[in-house]
Amino acid sequence: MKQTVLITGGAGFIGSHVVRLFVEKYQDIHIINLDKLTYAGNLENLKDIDNCANYTFVKGDIVDRSFVENLFEQYQFDGVIHLAAESHVDRSISNPLEFVETNIIGTVNLLNAAKKSWGDDFSNKRFYHVSTDEVYGTLGATGLFTEETAYDPRSPYSASKASSDHLVRAYFHTYQLPVVISNCSNNYGSHQFPEKLIPLCINNIKEGKPLPIYGDGKYTRDWLWVNDHARAIDTIYFNGVLGQTYNIGGHNEWKNIDLVHLLCDLMDIELGKTEGTSRQLITFVTDRQGHDRRYAIDAAKIEAVLGWKPSVTFQEGLKNTVQWYLANHEWLKNVTSGNYQKYYQDQYND
């Protein structure tokens, strides 16, 4: 193998797409997937590539400093693509400390281990930190987040991600650690845990349960197909300039209520139901605390400098996503059994 690359959080939603892309595309790179397998991590997501010669799974916790240091000693990584995180805003509101531990301490442990393992020789080394547009805070009706927008995180989740971004940059400026960062908008696609809006609504429509819309439903997000995010990560990992940040987004803003209408109509078609059936499940519920009104990414830099752009329209990507969830009934059943029921009851007073 030419290189050994560590991908953290590879059993999660985005991570599993990144691992699959790298394992299939770069057969001369040994991919080590480090994941704690929290509620959000699922090896089922990777069963199609599990036996590939260039793939190894390691179960472990990035918060465990000596474990992380030993792993770097064992594998002598050439690069790191860091996705492991606690990722759900609602969970960060009920349990902020877990987000501080994983997203901040976990990131520092990886930075320190990389620095120690790489010594003074950073040639051909790279630490890629995957972050979110939520670090920029919230927008009014107009404007876009650029790479120059000042950080203004407003939830425990986004504050922990912002903090990790600052630490990654600090390691670049202080130690010249070869880092690159990207900040992406909302992802959707296959294998997303049904705590997030789109898979939660797909699952509830299947079950004939209410679709909980926070507040007035006019909160706006910019949606990107997860496979396009994985393509962007591939591009940035190999071609991004060290020390720089790249915003990734779909130029695809939707108010939540409009998105859920579109999803309901797609589900009616796929399930062979009369038009309008699923929309009847929409229920407005108590708003999320501190709910950010609007996110929207200016992706001009990555498009102009690295030549990346989204490959599918939202309608195509969403149809593909709905069809995946309907075809993968067992996957959905497995992840919504057990602890998910308790989470759902607590979050939605169900």
Q: What is the Cα–Cα distance from 237 to 147, expressed in whole angstroms?
A: 17
Partner from ligand DAU, ligand NAD, none binding residue 295, C-beta < 5-8 Å depending on class: ligand DAU
Does 136 engage in binding with ligand DAU (CB under 6 A)?
A: no
Of the residues 80, 184, 233, 263, which one makes contact with ligand NAD according to CB under 6 A: 184
Q: What is the Cα–Cα distance from 168 to 127, expressed in whole angstroms?
A: 9
Of the residues 6, 30, 127, 133, which one makes contact with ligand DAU according to CB under 6 A: 133
Of the residues 8, 87, 182, 245, which one makes contact with ligand DAU according to CB under 6 A: 87
Query: Looking only at residues 194 through 233 of this chain, which bind ligand DAU when binding is defined by CB under 6 A?
Result: 196-197, 200, 212-214, 219, 221
Least Cα distance to 2 among 20, 22, 18, 16 occurs for: 22
Sign for the CA dihedral angle at 222, 226, 231, 236 comes to positive
* Residue 17 CB, nearest approach to ligand NAD (Å): 8
Q: What is the Cα–Cα distance from 294 to 220, expressed in whole angstroms?
A: 5
* DSSP category for residue 194: T
| Structure token digits, residue 241 | 């300039």
Query: Looking only at residues 7 through 36 of this chain, which bind ligand DAU when binding is defined by CB under 6 A?
Result: none
157 has catalytic annotation: yes
134 has catalytic annotation: yes
Catalytic-role residue among 35, 90, 134, 253: 134
Compute how many residues bind ligand DAU; rule: CB under 6 A: 19
Exposed/middle/buried for residue 157 (C-beta within 10 Å: 0-12, 13-18, 19+): buried
Does 260 engage in binding with ligand NAD (CB under 6 A)?
A: no
Query: What per-residue string of b and e applies to 175-184 under the rule 16 or more CB within 10 Å gives b?
Result: bebbbbbbbb
Q: What is the Cα–Cα distance from 157 to 103, expressed in whole angstroms?
A: 8
Does 130 engage in binding with ligand NAD (CB under 6 A)?
A: yes
Cβ-based nearer residue to ligand NAD, 78 or 98: 98
The CA-based dihedral angle spanning residues 271, 227, 164, 54, taken in that order and rounded to the nearest 10 degrees: 120
Of the residues 23, 46, 49, 62, which one makes contact with ligand NAD according to CB under 6 A: 62
Of the residues 37, 58, 306, 326, which one makes contact with ligand NAD according to CB under 6 A: 37
318 near 326, Cβ under 8 Å?
no
Please report, as ranges, the residues that interact with ligand NAD according to CB under 6 A. 8-9, 11-15, 35-38, 40-41, 61-63, 83-87, 102, 106, 130, 132, 161, 184, 186-187, 193
- For the annotated catalytic residues, the residue numbers are 133-134, 157
Please report, as ranges, the residues that interact with ligand DAU according to CB under 6 A. 87-89, 132-134, 185-186, 196-197, 200, 212-214, 219, 221, 256, 288, 295
